[in-house]
Chains A and B, each alone.
Chain A
C-alpha cells in the first residue's frame, strides 16, 4: 500500500517515514505544497497523510485538488491546528479522518488501516492474524473458526492490537484509544490490565495462542512470533 506523506517538519517527517515503513507501507514524501501537488497530479496513492500548514500553501487546497480530480486516495489530515473549524473544514472538504498533533503512532496506524480498508474493500474485508479472523463490519471475531464473544471494549482493544501487529503500544495510547479524551481524568491505567486479562482469557479458552505480550513498564504488543 502506497502512502504519500505531506509534512514540512523534517524531524517528524523522518520519524513518520520510519514508522510507516515498519508498518509495511510504501512511503512517498512531500516536504512542501509544490512537491505534494506535483506528486498527487502524477501518481496514485492509497492514502495521503496531509499536514495542513505548509510553508508555501495550505494543505486544504491539496485536498480540494484531490477531490476535484476524483482521486480514489483516502485522506488523513494530520495537523497541529486542532480548532473545531479546522476539523470541520477538513472533513467537509472530504477528508476521511482528522488527527490532531501530537498523536500516537499506533493511533495513526489504526486510523490509516481503517481508511485503506474502507477505500479498497468498501469495508468488506477481513483481518487475519495467525489463528484469528476478524470481520470488522460485522464486529465478528473467530478463533480457529469458532466465534468469540467479547465486550465492546475488549473488541476495540483487539482491533487496535491487530492494527499494530508487532508494535509496542503504550498504556496511554491504548487508554486514549478506548476512552478518548476522557482518559485525561485518570491517573491510573490499571483498567487496561483488566481488559487485557479478560481478552487473553477468552482467547485462550478458544485455544488461541498467547500472542498478546506484556512489555514491562511500557505497554503491550501483539507478537507475530
Chain B
C-alpha cells in the first residue's frame, strides 16, 4: 500500500469517527435544548393562564384541542410526551405537554393541559444531521483531493528519485544525478543518496584499481622469477649435474602454476566485482569446438571420449567462467569415461 493511501485511510477513518461522535453529541444536545425551550414556553403559557385566573377572569376556551385542553377529571401533573392525531395530515404527531391544576374564582377546579408539537424539533434535527453529512462528504472529498494533489506535486521529486535509483548502474562509473527539491526532506534525501552513490563509485573504482594493481604487482615479480629460471635451464653446465635440472624444472613449473593460480583468482575477483559488465554475443558451438580441440591431447591422455552434439544455436552470451568449467569437468571426470557436450 502506498504511503499516501495509508495516510488517507487514517484521515478518513478519523474523520468518520469524529463525525459520528460529533453527530451524536449534537443530536442529543439539540434535542435537549429544544425540549427545554418547549418546556419553558409551556411554563410561560401556564403562568399566563394562572395570572389570568388570579385576575378573576375565566379560563380561555380551547381553540385547538392539540394545544390546550381543560378537563375536570384528574390528570397526571407535570411534563409528558404524547402522540396526537393530526387531522389535516392524518398522522400521529409527537407533542410535549404540561398538565397543571387551576381554579378560578367561583369556578370549579380544572386540570389544564398545554401542548406543543415536536414536529419542528425533528425537522430541525434532520436538517442538522443532513448538514453534518454534507459537511463530512465535502471534508472527505477535500482530503482525498488534497492528497492526490500532494501525491502529484509534492511527491513527484520522491518518485523521480526512486526511478533514478532503479535505473542506476554502478558500472557506468557515474554518481547519481538527482534534481534539487524545494521540499527540505526530499532535498536532504537526494543529497544523502548522491553522497552515497559517490562513495560507491569511489569504492568501486578503488576496488577495480586494486585488483588491477595487485595483478600487476604480483605478476611482474613472477615474470622475473619465471624468465630467470628459464634462462637457468638453458645453462650448458646443468648437464654436468643430472639432479639439478629436474629440481630447477620443478621450481619453474611451480612458479608457473602459482602464476596461473593468481591469474585465475584475479579473473574471479573481476567477475565477482562485476567488472565484466558488457555481455558479448558469442557463437557457443564454435567456442565449444575450439575448446574441445585444445583439450583433445589431455582427453586422450586420460582416455576420455568426448562426444559433441552442437546444434547451430544462435549466438549466446557466454561467461568468462566457461574455460574454468571445462577444466573443472576435466579434473573431476574419472579415467575412461565418456563425456557428452550438447548445446
Contacts and interface: CB of A to CB of B under 8 A. Distances in A.
A217 B293 CA distance: 27
Interface in B80-112: none
A102 B295 contact: no
Contacts, number: 140
Nearest to B217: A80
Q: Which of A102, A170, A179, A182 has the most CB of B within 10 A?
A: A102
Contacts of B230: 19, 104-106, 170, 173
Contact of A179 (B220, B228, B297): B297
Interface in A148-203: 152-153, 167-168, 170-173, 178-186, 188, 190-192, 194-195
B226 A179 contact: no
A147 interface: no
Binding site of B, secondary structure by majority: helix, strand, loop or mixed? helix
Given A179-B294, A191-B300, A170 B222 contact: no
Contact of A191 (B226, B255, B297): B297
Interface stretch (A9-17, A25-33, A120-128, A138-146): A9-17
A49 B227 CA distance: 15
B287 interface: no
Given A153-B296, A179-B297, A181-B323, A218 B224 contact: no
Contact of A186 (B266, B291, B298, B328): B298
A41 interface: no
A191 B300 CA distance: 8
A190 to B, nearest CB: 6
Contact of B222 (A83, A102, A152): A102
Interface string A74-108: 00000011111000000000000000111111100
B260 A184 contact: yes
Contact of A217 (B246, B257, B270): B246
Given A80-B219, A81-B212, A218-B248, A182 B295 contact: yes
A215 B241 CA distance: 12
Contacts of A43: none
Contact of A172 (B246, B256, B293): B256
Contacts of B308: none
Contact of B215 (A82, A106, A184): A82
Interface of B: 212, 215-220, 222-228, 230-231, 233-234, 242, 245-246, 248-249, 252-253, 255-257, 259-260, 263-264, 266, 270, 275-276, 291, 293-298, 300-301, 320, 323, 326-328, 330-331
Can you list the 4 inter-chain pairs with the closest CB atoms, starting with the nearest?
Answer: A217-B246, A102-B223, A185-B327, A80-B219
Given A81-B216, A184-B327, A191-B298, 15 more contacts: A15-B228, A16-B227, A80-B223, A100-B263, A102-B223, A102-B224, A104-B226, A153-B297, A170-B230, A170-B253, A179-B295, A182-B291, A186-B301, A188-B301, A216-B246
11 contacts: A12-B227, A81-B212, A82-B263, A82-B266, A102-B256, A170-B230, A179-B295, A185-B327, A191-B301, A195-B297, A216-B246
